[in-house]
Amino acid sequence: MTTLATLAPATPSHATVDLPVGVHRLMSLKGQFCSITTRRSIKVKKGVAECIKESRFTVRIGISYDAQKAVIEKRENGELPAENAGLIGRIWVVENYILQSVKSGKYLVRCTPVHSDSVKRSVSFYRNGKEITHEEAEIGAYASEFSERVPTDAFDITVDNITHINGIAI
């Protein structure tokens, strides 16, 4: 993190937190649709060259999980518990925006995915600086990196992995 901005904590019990300036931009997009690009190394077996995964997707930021229509319906029909059980292993730093992992100390941005036929997530893989296919990336990678994901009503992105917000580098 080269450029930092200080954000006020959600509650007085948390210390002031230094986060990339781009996160400040995310927080200004409360409830809006935005495009996020992330880059991270995928887990590979010993002796296999590093592989980078770049993902681009559209999300909404700053949405209260419990106020989402889908979550309310799932609570009413019993798919979810009647009351929110809280976040296991994470604490809010800035309510509905920024979480911190209790185990790693890393900061995460809470996102609501956009489920639409017109909005698709895209993923690219790179090895030794060159783009490779999905199949090439799977070679030597742990199977957990390519397991099918179940669509969720909210997910978290590690702040350090965010490279672009609405096409602008952070």
3-state secondary structure of 159: helix
Q: What is the pLDDT of residue 50?
A: 96
* Ramachandran class of 49: left when φ > 0, alpha when ψ lies in -120 to 50, beta otherwise: beta
State how far Cα 18 lies from the chain centre: 18
16: domain range? 4-169
pLDDT band for position 12 (cuts 50, 70, 90)? very low
Q: What is the pLDDT of residue 17?
A: 62
Q: What are phi and psi of 33, to 5 degrees?
A: -80, 140
pTM: 0.79
Give me the number of domains the chain comprises.
1
Q: Which residue has the tokens 């419990």?
A: 66
* Ramachandran class of 169: left when φ > 0, alpha when ψ lies in -120 to 50, beta otherwise: beta
CA distance readout (Å), 29 to 20, 91, 121, 139, 141: 15, 21, 20, 38, 35
The better pLDDT of the pair 51, 170 is held by 51
Question: What sign results for the dihedral spanned by CA atoms 79, 81, 84, 89?
Answer: negative
Q: Are 65 and 75 in contact (CB under 8 A)?
A: no
